Amino acid sequence: MLQVVRTIALFYNNLPRPHKFTFGALLFLTWSMLVWQAAVYKPITESPLPLPTTTATDGSISTDADDAEPMDQPTPDDEIPKDELDETTSDASTPNEYVVSNGDTLGSILTQFGMDASDIYLLANKNSALANLKIGQQLNWVLDDEGTLQSLTWVVSRRETRVYERAENGFKETINTLKGEWKNAVVTGKMDGSFLVSARAAGLTNSEIRAVTKALQWQLDFRKLRNGDRFSVLLSREVLDGKNEQSQLIGVRMQSSGKDYYAIRSGDGKFYDREGSGLAKGFLRYPTPKQYKVTSPFNPRRLHPITGRVAPHKGVDFSMPIGSPVLAVGDGEVVVAKFSGAAGNYVAIRHGRQYSTRYMHLNKILVKPGQRVKRGDRIALSGNTGRSTGPHLHYELWVNELAVNPLTATLPRSDSLIGKDRAEYLAQVKEVVPQLHL
- Residue range 144-183, pLDDT digits in tens: 877 788 999 999 987 889 999 998 888 999 998 877 788 8
Count how many Cα atoms sit within 13 Å of the Cα of residue 429 in the half-sphere of its side chain: 18
Give residue 436's pLDDT band: very low, low, confident or very high (50, 70, 90).
Answer: very high
What is the gyration radius of the CA atoms in the chain, in angstroms? 31
Same topology between domain 82-177 and domain 294-404: no
Residue type at position 190: K
Exposed, middle or buried by CB within 10 Å (0-12, 13-18, 19+), for 305? exposed
Exposure string over 15-31, b if 16+ CB within 10 A, otherwise e: eeeeeeeeeeeeeeeee
Give residue 1's pLDDT band: very low, low, confident or very high (50, 70, 90).
Answer: very low
Summarize pLDDT for 58-73 with one digit per residue, the tens: 333 333 333 333 444 4
Give residue 51's pLDDT band: very low, low, confident or very high (50, 70, 90).
Answer: very low
In this structure, the dihedral spanned by the alpha carbons of residues 106, 109, 113 and 114, taken in order and rounded to 10 degrees, is 50
Distance, in Å, from the CA atom of 167 to the CA atom of 152, rounded to the nearest integer, reads: 12
Give residue 243's pLDDT band: very low, low, confident or very high (50, 70, 90).
Answer: confident
Residue type at position 430: K
Q: Which residues contact 423 (CB under 8 A, 6 or more apart)?
A: none
CATH number, span 294-404: 2.70.70.10
Under a CB-based contact definition with an 8 Å cutoff, are residues 357 and 397 in contact?
yes
φ, ψ for residue 108 (rounded to 5)? -65, -35
pTM recorded for the entire structure: 0.72
DSSP string, 236-279: EEEEETTEEEEEEEEEEEEEETTEEEEEEE-TTS-EE-TTSBB-
Distance, in Å, from the CA atom of 316 to the CA atom of 266, rounded to the nearest integer, reads: 34
Distance, in Å, from the CA atom of 217 to the CA atom of 348, rounded to the nearest integer, reads: 18
CATH number, span 82-177: 3.10.450.350
Distance of CA 251 to the CA centre of its chain: 28
Mean pLDDT of the chain: 81
Give residue 402's pLDDT band: very low, low, confident or very high (50, 70, 90).
Answer: confident
Distance, in Å, from the CA atom of 433 to the CA atom of 252, rounded to the nearest integer, reads: 9
Under a CB-based contact definition with an 8 Å cutoff, are residues 236 and 244 in contact?
no
CATH number, span 181-279+416-435: 3.10.450.350
- Alpha-helical (H) ranges within 66-205 are 106-112, 117-125, 195-202
In this structure, the dihedral spanned by the alpha carbons of residues 104, 105, 106 and 112, taken in order and rounded to 10 degrees, is -50
Under a CB-based contact definition with an 8 Å cutoff, are residues 207 and 238 in contact?
no
DSSP string, 319-337: E--TT-EEE-SSSEEEEEE
Domain ranges of the chain: 82-177, 181-279+416-435, 294-404
Determine how β-strand 316-319 pairs with β-strand 332-339.
Answer: unpaired
Distance, in Å, from the CA atom of 390 to the CA atom of 388, rounded to the nearest integer, reads: 6
Lowest mean pLDDT: which of 8-17, 295-304, 306-315, 411-420?
A: 8-17
Taking residue 148's Cβ as centre, other Cβ atoms within 10 Å add up to 12
pLDDT of 34 higher than 80 = no
Work out the average pLDDT over 206-233.
Answer: 92
Under a CB-based contact definition with an 8 Å cutoff, are residues 237 and 244 in contact?
yes
Q: Which residues contact 26 (CB under 8 A, 6 or more apart)?
A: none
Give residue 293's pLDDT band: very low, low, confident or very high (50, 70, 90).
Answer: very high
Distance, in Å, from the CA atom of 167 to the CA atom of 150, rounded to the nearest integer, reads: 9
